[in-house]
Amino acid sequence: MNSSESGKMSTSVLETQFDCRPLRGHCVYFIGIGGIGMSAVARILIHEGCIVAGSDLRTSPLISTLEEMGAKINTKQDGSFMSSETDMVVVSASISEDNLDLKTARKMGIKVVKYSQILGSLMKEKRGIAISGTHGKTTTSAMISTILKTAGKDPTFVIGGEVPDIGGNAHLGKGNLFVAEACEYDRSFLNLAPQVGVITNIEEDHLDYYENIEKIIHAFGDFASSISKDGLLVVNGKDNNIVAAIQRANCKVETYSFDNSSDWYCEVLSGSNGLKRFSVFHTDKFFCEITLRIPGAHNVMNALAAAAVCTFIGVDKDAIKTALSNFQGANRRFQIIGVRNGITVIDDYAHHPTEIRVTLRAARELYPEKNIWCVFQPHQYSRTRHLLKEFSRSFQNANRVILADIYATRDSDYEKTAMNAMKLYEETRNTGMDIQYIPQLSDIVNVLYSNVRPGDIVMTMGAGDVWKVAYDLVSRF
């Protein structure tokens, strides 16, 4: 680890001790308020009596909800909306120093904090539960929050996705528990000081920041060591990168997997019509039987992690079984947008090769004889460049693939010149896939409308705005 990386890590660890929680009546300005995490914290601060304002270049339902709650939001980031009455500015890791709103705040001498810092300050006041990992964070966080709410614990939660059954992506609860999705980018999760942690898996991602898997594993090791000694770390027992990361954990560790060598494991009893029925075992003793309504073996794993966490918290097995059996998932996670003329349209957030692969595998299990269209919008030029080969091999359970242009975020000019969607198209075509490259989302809707047939499945995938294709297509039908 070089000196600059050491400095980053040390700063993050120190930041966990930095109290940046705004007081009631304080004016807080969020730059990029429409982000899923930023909007969640904004909602909590509104409920706590703070005056919330912010800016975002893109409109969304999340922004509309915040405006209905009283937030004043500007669609420009030119510094003109920054009030002298602002007490604090919150920025996400994606906001660069040349952002005009941020420049204006610094010029005015307004206190600037990271999103992860304010999240850490909020968590310090309660019993923190932080869910980390390359994949599965949102669903696992949603499952844990749903179980705790079902059990009457009334947790506070900040989740990286809308969960309709529990009121959205954030809630200020009266209980003493705080559930937060913990992102590894920029080592953000080191700003949290949880009593309970989860690591779902560790893979190569965010290579624009970490450069290689060894540095990613080291960051997760720092996260593991941040769990309080009297707490619990719940980890995927069959992930070799996790095995390396947890060597520095100072707390009790419990593992989960499909293998009975783990502390928590399961036996799948049946899987039809998208339902997974499985028996859960804890330390070789039968725990309960669960029928999961969301498809995919990866979601069975998420359910095991949630059961382990909530058992440690003190939730009884009947509440865990009831909550998981009724769990309907988070938005943009295998979300059925509509069924029109016998055509099923599904939207999913998958933007990493592993996520695409397991989601399409779940779709194939659910619709074994159907014609599956996958509409994929790559997210970040840098991620596409680093994982090009992996992306090209991730679509095998689809019949036809439509590739949109790359959705840019945090990308440098170098990345935009070094990579383009045509390279991914060519790599994927060379694997034998039936793939089309259609840059514009509106044109994709037109092509789908003209070519899909009754019985077909259309899946939109990506972390950008590809979801618009799903909604526009359903509207057209």
Give pLDDT, residue 60: 86
Class of domain 20-113: alpha beta
| Whole-number Å distance between alpha carbons of 384 and 445 | 23
Single-letter code of the amino acid located at 87: D
Give pLDDT, residue 291: 94
pTM, two decimal places: 0.91
Give pLDDT, residue 9: 37
The full set of domain ranges for the chain reads 20-113, 126-326, 335-476
Give pLDDT, residue 353: 98
Three state DSSP letters for the chain? CCHHHHHHHHHHHHHCCCCCCCCCCCEEEEECCCCHHHHHHHHHHHHCCCEEEEECCCCCHHHHHHHHCCCEEECCCCCCCCCCCCCEEEECCCCCCCCHHHHHHHHHCCEEEEHHHHHHHHHCCCEEEEEECCCCHHHHHHHHHHHHHHCCCCCEEEEEEEEHHHCEEEECCCCCEEEEECCCHHHHHHHCCCCEEEECCCCCCCHHHHCCHHHHHHHHHHHHHHCCCCCEEEEECCCHHHHHHHHHCCCEEEEEECCCCCCEEEEEEEEECCEEEEEEEECCEEEEEEEECCCCHHHHHHHHHHHHHHHHHCCCHHHHHHHHHHCCCCCCCCEEEEEECCEEEEEECCCCHHHHHHHHHHHHHHCCCCCEEEEECCECHHHHHHCHHHHHCCCCCCCEEEECCCECCCCCHHHHHHCCHHHHHHHHHCCCCCEEECCCHHHHHHHHHHHCCCCCEEEEECCCCCHHHHHHHHHHC
**Could you tell me the fold of the domain covering 126-326?**
UDP-N-acetylmuramoyl-L-alanine:D-glutamate ligase (3.40.1190)
Residue pLDDT tens, the chain, 477 long? 333 343 333 333 333 344 677 778 999 999 999 999 999 999 999 999 999 999 998 888 899 999 999 999 999 899 999 999 999 999 988 888 999 999 999 999 999 999 999 999 999 989 999 999 999 999 999 999 999 999 999 999 999 999 998 999 999 999 999 999 999 998 999 999 899 999 999 999 999 999 899 999 999 999 999 999 999 999 999 999 999 999 999 999 999 999 999 999 999 998 777 678 999 999 999 999 999 999 999 999 999 999 999 999 999 999 999 999 999 999 999 999 999 999 999 999 999 999 999 999 999 999 999 999 999 999 999 999 999 999 999 999 999 999 999 999 889 999 999 999 999 999 999 999 999 999 999 999 999 999 999 999 999 999 999 999 999 999 999
**Could you tell me the fold of the domain covering 335-476?**
Protein-Tyrosine Phosphatase; Chain A (3.90.190)
Would you please indicate which residues are annotated as catalytic (active-site) residues? 137-138, 181
Give pLDDT, residue 93: 81
Give pLDDT, residue 19: 66
